[in-house]
Structure 1
Amino acid sequence: MSASASHQSVSHQSASTTQASASAASLSTSGGDLATDSNAGDSPGIAQPHGGLGIFRLVTTVITLIIGGGVFTLAGDQAAGGASGAAILTAWSISGIGVLCLVMTFFALSRVKPNLRGGIYSYASTGFGDFLGFNSAWGYWISALLCTVSFSALLFGALAYFFPIFGGGTNLASVIGASCLIWFYVFLVSRGVKEVTGVNAIITISKIVPIFVAIIVIIFLQKFDFGIFMANLTTGAEPGLPFFDQVSSTMMITIWVFVGIEGAVAISGRAKHSKDVGKATIIAFVCVLTIYLLVSVLSMGVMPLSQLAELENPALAGVMEVAVGQWGAILINCGVVLSLVGAMLGYTVLSSESPYEAAEQGVFIKAFAKTNKKGAPIVTLVVTNIIIEAFLIAMLFSDSSYQFFYTLSAGMILLPYLLSAAYFAKLTFTEPGLFKGKIGGSIVLWRIFGIFGVVYSFFLAWASGSVGLTLMSLLYAPGILMYIKGKKERGEQYLKSTVDKVVVVVILVAAAVSLFLLVSGQVVI
């Protein structure tokens, strides 16, 4: 889903531009953190002149797009899953390969199918029909709005360090605060705000500086204890948990921080030289993976996993407090607050733009394509925030936390990722001639990227667990009604193919079973 995508542009734009900016936005926030901040994902500095980015600026821009709020919670989230240090490093190895395959998939698709300007929706629709394409767009939208919910919990959890009234970020005070913030952002966007460059600049600094300070301080002030790290390699927070289960418990965390990775390729058109795009994408990916690994590994050298698991989010603040004292925690919490305030603005844009563009392309109902006098997609803004508000209220009556919502957000974006990777893999076998002259490398290599991208997406779906799969099926089911209504409005046929009918049956059966499991108490949220 992690982005975790870029919220640089608030006004509605062409499908391709919006998809790009939306993806970027979600990346940086990502828990992905959309582009400026995953998921995750706030995309600062994306508004560059076309063709004006050299390889260095391409690399730094992509890094900014990907890194978001998720990096601040990595240490605690991984430990809370009950994994040992060895399992955590194994999960990073698997995700490193898997995400690289997805990155190269999106990069290659942007080169061999430049006419598909609807991004993730277009890939799924072209490859497997408009119903699966619709579900890809639906999953992308729901993933984006769930990012806002998870960010609100993390934001007010960080604010609780300064104002204890916010508790863990999910109490009544936090929900009221989050509600005021998201509706204020709706007001801003509805007024036709077109540039958030200043906000993005602040966000970029606020999220990057604390991370590098933490890394540098732990290394150069010799706060890393090799003995603690070696003990963590073999001892997890939950002794006795099978190694494979330890790895799978960490997988959704590793994809969350990369949610929005597809948005990085969206800036390819801004490169001075097209050949630099592939290089920049890989270099940026390696840099981001290195940052995540450093935060993860260094944290395991400061505190035992059992203690890391007990830290309140943002866990990196707790790590810094142990390493250097209170100033470290203050620095990290301030960075998280500033970063997420901007990220939530970015996701307000993304989660309203994506359904608006889908409606413009005839995928969602016509009402979603309506704009106000300022050109803002007012219907999707209001509907999206009503849904977000419902999730915020639901937080009060459950044990759901930041981790729960980002896992669900990352899970919802897996179908779009899976269908994109599957479409790409299909192209490498059915239309290998497309690659000649458009992209370098052997067709065999691109087939490997496509196949591994599909396998990785399936593995992540399995790793999301019974609760994740249960809720995902319930969230996809309402989309069927939206799809049918949209088709009827346009006088078009729907569910024409056997595949479409099978997919509908699978979704409805899965939703019915999931509802039964929830009602009977066999699955607890």
Structure 2
Amino acid sequence: MAEGTAPKAGAQKITLAALTAMVIGSMIGAGIFNLPGRFGQATGPFGAIIAWLIAGTGMYMLARVFQALAEKRPDIDAGVFAYAKSGFGDYMGFLSAFGYWLGSCLGNVFYWVLIGSTLGNFFPVFGEGNTEVAIAVSLAGVWIFHMLILRGVEQAAFVNSIVTVAKIVPIIVAIVAMIVVFNFDAFAANFWGGADMPEKTLLAQVRDTMLITVFVFIGIEGASVYSRFAQERSHVGSATILGFVAVTGLMVAVTLLPYGLLPQSGVAELRQPSLAGALEAAVGPWGRWFISVGVLVSVLGAYLAWALICAEVMFAAAKSGDMPRIFAAQNRNRVPSAALWATSLVISTFIISTYWSYDAFNFMLDMTSVTTLLPYLLVAGYGVIVARSVDDYRDAPGEQMRDLIFSWIAVIYVLFMFVAAGLEYVLLVAVLFAPGTLLYVWSRREQGARLFTGVELAIFVAVLIGAAVGAYGLATGLITP
């Protein structure tokens, strides 16, 4: 079981409000500003409603699993990967930690691509976010934030709380403006899918929205990851639910309201960040500027939160022996400095790689979503294991069946997300997981521990086969990033 490092005596703990802000700050980043365009390309309002019902239900169940595990297993810190290890063994715990860390790194790369794309609206030299200038600016930003975070986790979390408030304002303004000019006739014309859009089944429409819904919900576990800093353990579950409810309402509004301003084809053609174009359609050119500034503030704040989470996950995994012990090093401000250096270097490498990507924006978004699905699946699976345990519910037997149902629905939802993602992305994730296993081998040798059990060896072989197929697809052009 993972053991977090207790803060030093007298160190300030994170309050419920700050934990909730961490969840909201982690979830409201780049994704919410891109919802109109991504949904417009996939479906009309009816399909969007169905998609949000599926995504909202699935993620709510996952949020309830995090809440139940925080209450029933308070001995487990750092949440995401620690639950996987407790329920499914050392190698699956490592894959969960590595996958979550890697997905977070890819998400941070996406943030910098979006910053470049947003600036490209006004300065053509930034293009779609992966030109030489955009990459240079992104790399500078990565290392500026790196130095800020090294000054202390609590200080950075405080900055994130302020930024969270600041970045919600443009979203609220956009929602209110779109409500004021909302045209019910336009919405009704789009409701079943725009007449000027390619015809496809409702299932296909909903499936095409699934990865973006996963992306915008990533961060729901932010309070769980920072459980070791919470003033009270019960605040972890409360912050998770409060953050989920607040952000879901904003995301549904941002998705549906543009259909009352433009035909679906117009929504689909909006340049990212598409909320800027939607507000421009409602209020004029100043709307694009206003949202673009909001995007820059939002994404920079989200990057701060996710850089913290990346380092914290790797640090906690190293403390528990699931990553090489070098990543457990901390500086005098109690920041996991070695883990942060590794995170910043990997993010920088991926940023440079976007130069050769055909569609860096959507590719990084979708890869982030798929990479994070495995940790979520293992958390949901562990929720099933805990909910079946009589000992964990001896004091509250009436909650056991409820939590078991929630956990199974969460498992089914995440499996559906894998199917919706498609085999191509699953193979690409395997391409990254296979070499990542070298870190697991390193840590096991440091401990003199057995490398794999029989089941774990079979899982590793499956990862290798998937990586080989994925590498072949990349080499032959069957898979294009």
* TM norm structure 1: 0.83
1:476 counterpart = 2:436: no
Paired letter, 1:149: V
Q: Distance in 1 between matches of 2:230 and 2:335?
A: 25
1:342–1:96 CA distance, 2 compared to 1 (3 A): closer
- Structure 1 stretch displaced more, 64-73 or 369-378: 369-378
Within 5 Å, give how 1:445-524 maps onto structure 2.
445-495=402-452, 497-524=453-480
1:345-389 CA-partner distances (Å, limit 9, x unpaired): 333332223212211221111222334566544433333222222
Retained in 1: the 8 A contact 2:66–2:237? no
Q: Secondary structure at the match of 2:155?
A: coil
| RMSD over equivalenced CA pairs, Å | 2.7
- Give the deviation of 1:328 after TM superposition: 1.4
1:92 aligns with 52
**Equivalent residue number for residue 15 of structure 1:** 4
The equivalent position to 1:285 in structure 2, one of 244, 250, 254, is 244
424, 432, 436: which one aligns with 2:394: 436
**Distance in 2 separating the partners of 1:102 and 1:444:** 16
- CA spacing shift, 1:16–1:407, aligned 2, 3 Å: farther
Shift of 1:305: 2.0
Q: In 2, Cα distance between the equivalents of 1:400 and 1:386? A: 22
- Map 1:262-301 → 2, pairs under 5 A: 262-265=221-224, 274=234, 281-282=240-241, 284-301=243-260
Q: 1:16 to 1:376 in 2, by over 3 A?
A: closer
Q: Distance in 1 between matches of 2:6 and 2:187?
A: 45
Q: 8 Å contact 2:25–2:302 — kept in the other structure?
A: no
Q: 1:252 Cα shift?
A: 1.1
Contact 2:61 2:407 in 1 (8 A): yes
Q: Whole-Å Cα distance in 1 between the matches of residues 175 and 304 of structure 2?
A: 28
1:304 aligns with 2:268: no
The answer for unaligned runs of 5 or more in structure 2 is none
Cα 1:62–1:363 change in 2 (3 A) is closer
Is 1:116 the counterpart of 2:116 in the alignment?
no
Aligned to 1:316: 275
CA contact (8 A) 1:65 1:264 kept: no
Note closer, same or farther for the CA distance 1:487–1:248 as it changes in structure 2 (3 Å cut).
same
State which of 10, 23, 34 in structure 2 corresponds to 1:73. Answer: 34
Match of 1:253 among 212, 221, 224: 212
Using the alignment, how far apart are the partners of 1:113 and 1:151 within structure 2?
A: 33
Residue 142 of structure 1 pairs with residue 109 of structure 2: no
What do residues 415-440 of structure 1 show as CA deviations (whole Å, max 9, x unaligned)? 111011111112222x13412335x8
Residues 48, 270 of structure 1: 8 Å contact kept? no
Contact 1:369–1:377 (Cα < 8 Å) also in 2: yes
Distance in structure 2 (CA, Å) of the matches to 1:376 and 1:316: 36
* 2:352 alignment counterpart: 393
Q: Distance in 1 between matches of 2:243 and 2:109?
A: 28
Q: Structure 1 residue aligned with 2:309, among 329, 350, 365?
A: 350
Residue-by-residue CA offset, 1:24-80 (whole Å, 9 max, x unaligned):
xxxxxxxxxxxxxxxxxxxxxxx9856x658xx886775455333211111112223
Query: SS in structure 2 opposite 1:15?
Result: coil
Partner Cα separation in structure 2 for residue 272 and residue 392 of structure 1: 38
Which has a greater percent of helix? Answer: 2
| AA of the residue aligned to 2:32 | V
SS in 1 for 2:221: helix
> Percent identity at matched positions?
35
Distance in structure 2 (CA, Å) of the matches to 1:278 and 1:205 = 21
Deviations 1:258-290 (A, max 9, x none): 10112245678857895x876665454333222
Letter in 2 for 1:177: V
Give the whole-Å Cα distance in 1 for the aligned partners of 2:355 and 2:251. 31
CA distance in 1, matches of 2:71, 2:331: 35
Determine whether 1:196 maps to 2:159.
no
CA separation in 2, counterparts of 1:337 and 1:369?
Answer: 32
Q: Deviations over 1:99-137 (max 9, x none)?
A: 011000010001111111231121111111100000000
Find out whether 1:102 has 2:62 as its counterpart. yes
Deviation at 1:462? 1.4
> 499-508 vs 339-348, which deviates more?
339-348
Query: For residues 374-417 of structure 1, what are the alpha-carbon distances to aligned partners after superposition, in whole Å with 9 as ceiling and x for unaligned?
Result: 65444333332222222112211121322221211111111111
1:28 aligned residue: none
CA distance in 1, matches of 2:302, 2:208: 26
Question: Which structure has more RCO (C-alpha within 8 Å, separation ≥ 6)?
Answer: 2
Amino acid at match of 1:205: V
C-alpha distance in 1 between matches for 2:408 and 2:322: 28
AA matched with 1:305: Q
Matched, 1:228 2:186: yes
Deviation at 1:321, TM superposition (A): 0.5
Whether contact under 8 Å (2:67, 2:238) holds in the other structure is no
What CA distance in whole angstroms lies between the structure 2 residues aligned with 1:69 and 1:106? 23
Alignment partner of 1:381 out of 324, 328, 340? 340
* Contact in 2 for aligned 1:203/1:339 (Cα 8 Å): yes
Question: Which piece of structure 1 moves more, 183-192 or 411-420?
Answer: 183-192
- Partner Cα distance (1:197, 1:488) in 2: 35
Distance 1:162 1:454 in 2: 44
**One-letter amino acid of the counterpart of residue 97, structure 2:** A
Segments of structure 1 that go 5 or more residues without pairing to the other structure are 1-13, 19-46
